[in-house]
Amino acid sequence: MKASNLKGQTAVVTGASRGIGRAVAVMLAREGANIAFNYLHSQKQAQELEKELTQSGVKARGSCVDVKDFGAVKEWIGSVKEEFGSLDILINNAGITTDKPLVMMSEEEWRTVLATNLDGVFNAARSCIFTFLKQKSGSIINISSVSGVFGLPGQSNYSASKGGVNAFTKALAKEVAAYGVRVNAVAPGFIETEILAGLTEEKREDILKEIPLGRIGSTDEVASCVKFLLSSRADYITGQVIHIDGGLAMR
DSSP state letters, 92-113? E---------GGG--HHHHHHH
Close Cβ partners of 36 (under 8 Å, ≥ 6 residues apart)? 10, 11, 12, 13, 60, 61, 63, 80, 83, 84
pLDDT at site 251: 60
**Which amino acid makes up residue 134?**
K
What CA–CA distances, in Å, run from 86 to 9, 77, 81, 137?
7, 11, 5, 11
Stretches where the chain sits below pLDDT 70 are 1-4, 251
Q: Which of 37, 102, 40 is nearest to 68 (CA)?
A: 40
Domain boundary assignment for the chain = 10-243
CA distance 236 to 238: 7
**Torsion angle defined by CA atoms of residues 158, 139, 226 and 35, in that order, rounded to the nearest 10 degrees:** -100
Residue pair 73/65 in contact (Cβ under 8 Å)? The answer is yes
Superfamily of domain 10-243: NAD(P)-binding Rossmann-like Domain (3.40.50.720)
- Do strands 34-39 and 60-64 pair parallel, antiparallel, or not at all (unpaired)? parallel
Nearest-angstrom CA–CA distance, 200 and 6: 40
The CA distance from 81 to 128, in Å, is 9
Q: What is the pLDDT of residue 3?
A: 40
State the pLDDT at residue 193. 87
Considering 39, 158, 179, 236, which one is annotated as catalytic? 158
- pLDDT on residue 197: 75
pLDDT in tens, 96-109: 999 999 999 999 99
158 is catalytic: yes
